[in-house]
Amino acid sequence: MTAMRWGLIGATIIGREWMIRAIRDAGGTITSVYSTDAERGRRYAREFDIPDSTTDLDTLLQNVDAVYISTTNDRHHAECLAAARAGRHVLCEKPLATRYQDAVEMVAACEAAGVVMATNHHLRNAATHRAIRDVVAGGRIGRPLAARIVHGGALPAHLHGWRLKDVSAGAGAILDLTVHDSDLLRFALDDEPRTAMTLAQNGGLAQPGIEDAAMSTIAFGSGLIAQIYESFTTPFLRTSFEVHGTAGSVIAQDCMSQTPGGTVTLRTEAGEETLPLEQEDYYQRGVRAFHAAIAGQGRPAATGADGLVSLAVALAARRSAETGKAEPVMP
Ligand code: NDP
């Protein structure tokens, strides 16, 4: 099979830190990078040995099979529609968009064009979370009744840009992190979120009016209740993901990160067991699944439709933080 030819839409930090390596390690070739700033694009291409850079999206779309969209959240919509129109497969960053209707249009455009669309919810690829999903699906904790995710830390200084300041770009912890946690719950529980009730907090890091932490309770279709906490502001927090059922509990720790790691413990009547895990790079695993889906084998780790639901949960959480009421996930 010839290597998948990728175009990068966005000269970004996530590309620099994770995705360029992941695409290459998964067997893809990066042919060009699109940036709105010619000099930034040229520098980025040089830094990563990418043959070309351009400020014209249509030029980028000419000679690629797939694109990776990692611009600010407000830009994903137009860039995804352009890629779909050109018949290119799309791996898009989360949140898919800043408005639900935009994400609906993105998913529909990819479907109409017959291209594969994926959302970069990397946590689905974590060995810890896949082990939790297997435990739950295998009935080892009985009927799951409650779940809890603690997902935060200190937002690194080099990310103190639009995330903390620019509402129109899609700032805030809810669009940044609540999307990941709601997607992870759907993935691990095979259940659908129905309502969200959220308190948002400004702990002094983000600009006034923008939340840098949030805590939500989410009700699922099965009746399960989940509590999730996301923050940019709590450096010494220990991340975790727990699911509690009628016959057992499964508890992952140090597991909500970009770096492979963490542990999973299963507690049942039989006692406590540490589950074996085969760790691997989350992003590379995601790109491999995307390549396979394009080749007609399986589906992406998280599809465009999955990204649509995680965005819907985040937007419901934002509405709830404003109204003080539980809000339905689906608008
Ligand atoms: P960046 O802040 O690195 O880049 C966002 C946009 O800002 C770029 O597209 C770029 O425009 C512009 N930009 C970059 N550098 C500068 C600069 N020096 N001055 C002015 N503008 C600049 O974004 P991130 O990498 O932090 O995030 C990008 C996307 O990826 C977001 O959607 C985010 O939610 C997602 N993300 C996902 C993660 C995951 O694990 N799945 C982790 C981190 C981020 P241009 O491209 O036109 O040059």
Give the integer Cα–Cα distance in Å for 127 and 92. 22
Contacts of 255 (CB under 8 A, 6+ apart): 126, 128, 129, 239, 240, 241, 261, 262, 263, 264
Task: Pick from 20, 42, 70 the residue to mutate for probing ligand 1's pocket: most ligand atoms within 8 Å of its CB.
Answer: 70
pLDDT given at position 2: 82
Is residue 217 within 8 A of residue 226, CB to CB? The reply is: yes
- Residues counted in the chain: 331
The residue whose CA is least distant from atom 46 of ligand 1 is 10
Task: Pick from 8, 9, 12, 21 the residue to mutate for probing ligand 1's pocket: most ligand atoms within 8 Å of its CB.
Answer: 12
Q: State the closest ligand 1 atom to the C-alpha of 17, by its place in the atom list counted from 1.
A: 25
Question: How far is C-alpha 295 from the geometric centre of its chain's CA atoms?
Answer: 23
pLDDT given at position 331: 79
Which amino acid does the sequence have at 327?
E
The residue whose CA is least distant from atom 41 of ligand 1 is 120
Q: State the closest ligand 1 atom to the C-alpha of 161, by its place in the atom list counted from 1.
A: 2
The residue whose CA is least distant from atom 40 of ligand 1 is 122
Angle (nearest 5°) at CA 278 between 17 and 294: 60
Q: What are the respective helix, strand and coil percentages of the chain, to the nearest 5?
A: 40, 25, 35
Question: Side-chain half-sphere of 265: how many Cα atoms within 13 Å?
Answer: 7
Angle (nearest 5°) at CA 223 between 221 and 229: 90
Give the integer Cα–Cα distance in Å for 249 and 54. 51
Contacts of 194 (CB under 8 A, 6+ apart): 218, 219, 220, 221, 328, 329
The residue whose CA is least distant from atom 4 of ligand 1 is 12
The residue whose CA is least distant from atom 35 of ligand 1 is 93
pLDDT per 10-residue tile (average), the chain, 331 residues: 92 98 98 98 98 98 97 98 98 98 98 98 98 98 98 96 97 98 98 98 98 98 98 97 98 97 98 97 98 98 98 98 97 79
Q: State the closest ligand 1 atom to the C-alpha of 36, by its place in the atom list counted from 1.
A: 47
pLDDT given at position 161: 97
pLDDT given at position 262: 98
Give 217 Cα–ligand 1 centroid separation in angstroms.
29
Give the integer Cα–Cα distance in Å for 302 and 120. 7
Dihedral sign of CA atoms 292, 297, 298, 299 in order: positive
Give 100 Cα–ligand 1 centroid separation in angstroms.
21
Give 186 Cα–ligand 1 centroid separation in angstroms.
26
Dihedral sign of CA atoms 212, 151, 137, 117 in order: positive
44-70 burial code (b ≥16 CB/10 A, e <16): bbeebebebbbeebeebbeebbbbbbb
Protein residues with CB under 6 Å of any ligand 1 atom: 10-14, 35-37, 40, 70-73, 93-94, 120, 122, 159, 161-162, 176, 258
Give 11 Cα–ligand 1 centroid separation in angstroms.
7
Give the integer Cα–Cα distance in Å for 277 and 263. 8
Give the integer Cα–Cα distance in Å for 227 and 219. 9
Q: State the closest ligand 1 atom to the C-alpha of 159, by its place in the atom list counted from 1.
A: 26
Give 49 Cα–ligand 1 centroid separation in angstroms.
19
Q: State the closest ligand 1 atom to the C-alpha of 175, by its place in the atom list counted from 1.
A: 34
Q: State the closest ligand 1 atom to the C-alpha of 44, by its place in the atom list counted from 1.
A: 48
Give 293 Cα–ligand 1 centroid separation in angstroms.
26
Q: State the closest ligand 1 atom to the C-alpha of 34, by its place in the atom list counted from 1.
A: 46
Give the integer Cα–Cα distance in Å for 81 and 87. 10
